Amino acid sequence: MKKRSWAEPYKIKMVEPLRVTTRSEREQAITEAGFNTFLLHSKDVYIDLLTDSGTSAMSDRQWAGLMMGDEAYAGSVNFYHLQEAIQKFYGYQHIIPTHQGRGAEHILSQLLIHKGDYVPGNMYFTTTKLHQELAGGTFVDVIVDEAHDPDNEFPFKGNVDLAKLQALIDRVGAEHIPYLSLETNVNMAGGQPCSLANIRAACGLCHEHNIKVFLDATRAVENAYFIKQREAGYENHSIADILREICSHTDGCTMSAKKDCLVNIGGWLAVNDAELADHARNMVVVYEGLHTYGGLAGRDMEAMSLGIRESVEYDHIRARIGQVEYLGNALIDAGIPIVRPIGGHGIFIDAARFLSHLPREEFPAQALAAALYVESGVRAMERGTVSAGRDHTTGKNNFPKLELIRLTIPRRVYTQAHMDVTAEAVVGIYEDRNLVTGLRFTYEPKQLRFFQARFEPTTGNQILRDPDTSA
């Protein structure tokens, strides 16, 4: 049979012009931004692949939903729509809206973690781990070893290593483990999924020991798509059914709705335990807003409830992940070292191999993100040593096994032509990669340093000398 291509399952109704800059404008912009792509002004960015968080395009139905915002302080109709959508598609009973994902992480961590506790998780996420630490806990990585190897093609690199989890239980005792922090489509591993068999087994092991399981459901729909593609027995299940099954094994979830749920702001905490829900409602009114809005406008909750319904449509999720695969395959074909298999929300380039002439102490991933911006106006995010921060006890840099930059694809925003331009830019730098210089800190914030840190090149004053113009 002849190959049948898919195309984006939407047409464009409104456009937002992009500004194309010159190389010297970009050199000036990145220097002023301290070689940190987080500190660039978005007006200076051509294709913005910093994050898929809050950057999705909403549908016409969602924009219409904004007009139906009920901005009552208490009991907004939009809260009940949101609650209904979460109960239907995620299956949890009690819903506490928050301004975004970290608001939910804060509440959950403060309620369940005691000083001296251990929180196992399938790889760290920056804000999640920090909230666990601020509550007095210590994060313990229990992801499978395959996740740390960018070339390993294991289809479920997000899986929990049950032996590592058991070893932690044996070492510290179940009473010092408040919950397993289980992330779907693990962000820092490259957007890699967990299998349902593994989710079932990990949750079973925890529940046997009276340990709860809280899902980071931020990209659970993308995980559900990979289960449908890769896990035997699920090929004929709907995305909605798989999502429900994932959640059914857990005790609740935190959610950054800025990703899967197709909105620009929002989050929620969901739990099945009525008493825990009560405690969470008491906290949300202190830190976020009333328990029926949690820091959100009524219209935001309406857009979210509609986004949840759209997110599980097969055509949507196939095209969303298909676009990421399109970019990934273009880079693989050009010989660029990327994390494989291609993940769900972005392409993760192995900066340590790409810039093998730079030592880890000179932050190759940070340098590559800056160089890519100078080369093309494409903005990527560092996901390596700078993101990993310092060890709290020794004060030394953590050197994670993965030193990556992430080209994150916003949902329903860019076309395949933008993916072509991005791939060409990466290949352009790869050809001149030895010209990229390392970086050192000029300012290092104490927490979540990657957001606001500033750097300077270790040699010379340019991150990437243009071979055509430099002497």
Q: How far is the CB of 458 from ligand PM9 (least distance, A)?
A: 26
- Residue 128 found at the interface with ligand PM9 (CB under 6 A): yes
Output 250 or 256, the one with its CB closest to ligand PM9: 256
Per-residue contact string for residues 229-248; x = within reach of ligand PM9 by CB under 6 A: --------------------
126, 184, 250, 422: the active-site residue: 126
One of 157, 228, 258, 412 touching ligand PM9 (CB under 6 A): 258
Count CB neighbours of 356 within 10 A. Answer: 13
Characterize 410-431 residue by residue with b for buried, 16 or more Cβ atoms within 10 angstroms of its Cβ, and e for exposed: bbbbbeeebbebbbebbeebbe
Structure tokens at 430: 């790869």
DSSP-based three-state secondary structure for 160: strand
User: How far apart are alpha carbons 304 and 17 in whole angstroms?
Assistant: 26
Q: Would you call 51 a catalytic residue per the annotation?
A: no
Q: Which of 125, 156, 226, 348 is catalytic?
A: 125
124 counts as binding ligand PM9 under rule CB under 6 A: no
Q: What residues are paired with 215 via a beta bridge?
A: 182, 253
Going by their DSSP bridges, the two strands 454-457 and 346-350 should be labelled as unpaired
Give the active site residue among 216, 251, 260, 300: 216
Q: Does 192 bind ligand PM9 (CB under 6 A)?
A: no
Q: Would you say 75 or 445 has its CB closer to ligand PM9? A: 445
122 binding ligand PM9? (CB under 6 A): no
Q: By CB under 6 A, tell whether 366 contacts ligand PM9.
A: no
CB of 342 to ligand PM9, least distance (A): 17
Please confirm, yes or no, whether 21 is among the known catalytic residues.
no
Q: Three-state SS for 224?
A: helix
- End-to-end, the C-alpha distance of the chain in Å comes to 55
Stretch that binds ligand PM9, among 120-128, 270-278, 288-296, 350-358 (CB under 6 A): 120-128
Please indicate whether residue 258 is annotated as part of the active site.
no
Asked if 195 touches ligand PM9 (CB under 6 A), the answer is: no
Three-state SS for 214? Answer: strand
Question: What are the distances in angstroms from CA 188 to CA 36, 87, 126, 158, 184?
Answer: 19, 28, 9, 10, 11
Peptide bond into 337 cis (omega under 30): no
DSSP symbols for 326-378: HHHHHHHHTT--B-SS--SSEEEEEHHHHTTTS-GGG-HHHHHHHHHHHHHSE
Choose, by CB under 6 A, the member of 26, 81, 102, 340 that binds ligand PM9: 102
Q: CA 404, CA 382: separation in Å to the nearest integer?
A: 6
Q: Are 163 and 201 in contact (CB under 8 A)?
A: no
Q: Determine phi and psi for 460, rounding to 5 degrees.
A: 65, -170
Q: Which stretch binds ligand PM9 (CB under 6 A): 1-9, 94-102, 224-232, 278-286?
A: 94-102
Q: Which stretch binds ligand PM9 (CB under 6 A): 96-104, 115-123, 157-165, 286-294?
A: 96-104
389 binds ligand PM9 (CB under 6 A): no
**Nearest approach, Cβ of 216 to ligand PM9 (angstroms)?**
5
Q: Which of 78, 100, 122, 437 binds ligand PM9 (CB under 6 A)?
A: 100
Residues 340 and 192 sit within 8 Å (Cβ to Cβ): no
Token representation of residue 334 = 């050009």
Query: Smallest distance, Å, CB 335 to ligand PM9?
Result: 27
- Residue 58: φ, ψ to 5°: -80, 155
Among 218, 250, 292, 323, binds ligand PM9 (CB under 6 A): 218
Which of 192, 256, 305, 366 is close enough to bind ligand PM9 by CB under 6 A?
A: 256
Nearer to ligand PM9, 216 or 300 (CB): 216
Measure the CA angle with vertex 266, ends 290 and 404; round to 5°.
Answer: 140
Interaction between residue 222 and ligand PM9 (CB under 6 A): no
CA distances from 252 to 246, 270, 279, 332, 334 (A): 11, 5, 14, 38, 42
Catalytic residue at 125? yes
Q: Is 267 in the site for ligand PM9 (CB under 6 A)?
A: yes
Q: Give the one residue of 48, 146, 161, 183 binding ligand PM9; rule: CB under 6 A.
A: 183
Active site residue 214: no
**C-beta nearest to ligand PM9: residue:** 101
Task: Report the residue from 48, 216, 222, 251 that binds ligand PM9 according to the rule CB under 6 A.
Answer: 216
String marking each residue 20-59 x if it binds ligand PM9 according to CB under 6 A: -------------------------------x-x------
Judge whether 73 counts as a catalytic residue. yes
315 is catalytic: no
Q: What is the C-alpha separation between 399 and 396, in angstroms, rounded? A: 9
Residue with tokens 């970290």: 102
Residues that bind ligand PM9 in the complex, under the rule CB under 6 A: 51, 53, 100-102, 125-128, 183, 187, 216, 218, 256, 258, 267
Give catalytic residue positions.
73, 125-126, 216, 259, 383, 450
